[in-house]
């Protein structure tokens, strides 16, 4: 690119402080809050965070290197952004080791459909790459941020771990840890990170203020530490000098990016490779695309523990419709798929591409009514819940303990 061109692109994408303020007012994405007017603009988010859009060529390379079909979350742009995913594909191709890291803040007794997204995708990646996976349960974070007791946070942890195990993770390759218990093992890396990040940086990245609990300021290094392989000496040899260069890939929703921008920033100074990331969009609330499904608002969420009747009631009553007000108008003008929540949920959970396309075309052209699309969705969600509840009932306390035991993995 010539200098002139470069200047041109900078001029067209640069914004004034006022415009930035306006954008921020219309779209807020932090690890604790997601809101927007008229839906999240993900391209804007990529620009703002400085990540990279996942283009079709990268998906093709993924398929070529792994020899596996890309997951529909990738094909449909649900995982839409990344940082250094190419480095992971290079490592895989060269037979170099790497591992997966994801996590969950246990803030409610059951997972909801939105929580499923990163875990379903992480399980797919674990199967495709056949690599170790560590899952951090941030009960410390939820205790600090939510109005819950520490005992409640610990109780939620076990219940959420059961949900996660029920998704089918391989016990030979998966280590799940509760921060409150595992923190001693993480601590050497937590203080190394803490030594290299200033209070000003924490304030700048996370927006904490002087009257926030000091525990919040201390938390980001705790979420960062698992991105460094030597935080797990029982998995990666502590005596092998190559351990520090083992790469990490973090699948997460894009609201977690601030933690890992910080992590990537200090990684080279501590002698580690920068962790790679693959970001998902937010699973919308039943009420619409302006915010994500949230455990803090029971009406916005369909839980994996919901009964068929509850699923049906929630979807029928609350799922925002892009359809028209009357049957006649719907038949004449069709639905707006862009804002229709039920169609968007089908995009996540109806795997059959042909069927999805057919429903989309018929709904948009008025040949299907909202009630029919909702009925289809309810059938799919009820079936996912039925299977999940069956699998979860088989996860005993002993199995939970086994996944959470500090031990060697086989990979």
Binding site for ligand TRP (CB under 6 A): 31, 101-105, 136, 138, 141, 223, 250, 252, 256
Residue 195 tokens read as 């030594």
Given the complex with ligand TRP, which of 263 and 347 has the nearer CB atom? 263
Half-sphere exposure for 92 (CA within 13 Å, toward CB): 22
Strands 27-29 and 52-53: unpaired
Tell me if 388 sits within 8 A of 164, measured CB to CB: no
> In 165-204, which positions are buried (b, 16+ CB within 10 angstroms) versus exposed (e)?
bbbebeeebbbbbbbeebeebbeebbebbbeebeeeebee
Helix then strand then coil, % of the chain, to nearest 5: 55, 10, 30
C-alpha span between 384 and 406 (Å, rounded): 31
Residue 182 tokens read as 């595992």
Closest separation in Å from C-beta 101 to ligand TRP: 6
For residue 371, what are the contacts with CB-CB under 8 A and spacing of at least 6? 316
CB-based burial label for 60 (10 Å; 0-12, 13-18, 19+):
exposed
C-alpha span between 338 and 1 (Å, rounded): 35
Closest separation in Å from C-beta 128 to ligand TRP: 18
Strand partners, 253: 280
C-alpha span between 341 and 230 (Å, rounded): 42
Rg (CA), the chain: 22
Strands 247-253 and 276-280: parallel
Given the complex with ligand TRP, which of 146 and 374 has the nearer CB atom? 146
Residue 58 tokens read as 């990268």
Tell me if 400 sits within 8 A of 165, measured CB to CB: yes
Closest separation in Å from C-beta 112 to ligand TRP: 12
Given the complex with ligand TRP, which of 104 and 274 has the nearer CB atom? 104
Closest separation in Å from C-beta 302 to ligand TRP: 18
Closest separation in Å from C-beta 297 to ligand TRP: 16
C-alpha span between 251 and 118 (Å, rounded): 6
Given the complex with ligand TRP, which of 304 and 315 has the nearer CB atom? 304
Q: Among 300, 212, 292, which Cα is nearest to 256's?
A: 292
Q: Among 387, 329, 271, 292, which Cα is nearest to 78's?
A: 292
């Amino acid at each position: 690119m010539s200098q002139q061109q470069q200047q041109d692109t900078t001029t067209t994408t640069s914004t004034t402080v006022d415009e930035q303020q306006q954008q921020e007012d219309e779209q807020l994405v932090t690890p604790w809050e997601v809101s927007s007017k008229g839906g999240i603009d993900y391209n804007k988010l990529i620009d703002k965070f400085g990540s990279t859009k996942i283009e079709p060529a990268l998906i093709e390379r993924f398929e070529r290197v792994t020899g596996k079909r890309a997951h529909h979350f990738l094909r449909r742009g649900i995982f839409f952004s990344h940082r250094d995913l190419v480095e992971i594909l290079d490592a895989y191709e060269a037979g170099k080791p790497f591992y997966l890291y994801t996590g969950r803040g246990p803030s409610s007794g059951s997972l909801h459909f939105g929580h499923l997204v990163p875990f379903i995708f992480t399980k797919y990646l674990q199967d495709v790459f056949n690599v170790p996976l560590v899952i951090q349960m941030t009960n410390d974070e939820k205790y600090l941020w939510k109005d819950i007791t520490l005992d409640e946070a610990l109780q939620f942890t076990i219940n959420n771990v059961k949900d996660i195990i029920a998704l089918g993770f391989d016990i030979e390759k998966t280590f799940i840890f509760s921060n409150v218990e595992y923190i001693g093992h993480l601590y050497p890396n937590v203080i190394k990170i803490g030594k290299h990040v200033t209070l000003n940086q924490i304030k700048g990245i996370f927006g904490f203020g002087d009257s926030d609990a000091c525990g919040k300021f201390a938390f980001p290094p705790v979420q960062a530490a698992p991105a460094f392989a030597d935080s797990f000496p029982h998995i990666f040899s502590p005596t092998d000098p190559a351990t520090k260069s083992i790469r990490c890939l973090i699948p997460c929703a894009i609201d977690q990016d601030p933690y890992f921008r910080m992590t990537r920033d200090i990684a080279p100074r501590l002698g580690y490779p920068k962790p790679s990331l693959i970001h998902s969009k937010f699973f919308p609330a039943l009420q619409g695309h302006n915010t994500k499904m949230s455990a803090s608002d029971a009406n916005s969420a369909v839980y994996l523990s919901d009964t068929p009747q509850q699923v049906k009631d929630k979807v029928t009553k609350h799922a925002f419709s892009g359809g028209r007000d009357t049957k006649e108008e719907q038949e004449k003008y069709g639905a707006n798929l862009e804002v229709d929540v039920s169609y968007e949920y089908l995009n996540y959970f109806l795997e059959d591409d042909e069927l999805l396309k057919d429903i989309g075309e018929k709904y948009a052209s008025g040949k299907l009514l909202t009630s029919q699309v909702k009925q289809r969705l309810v059938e799919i969600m009820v079936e996912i819940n039925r299977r999940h509840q069956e699998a979860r009932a088989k996860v005993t306390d002993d199995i939970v303990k086994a996944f959470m035991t500090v031990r060697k993995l086989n990979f």
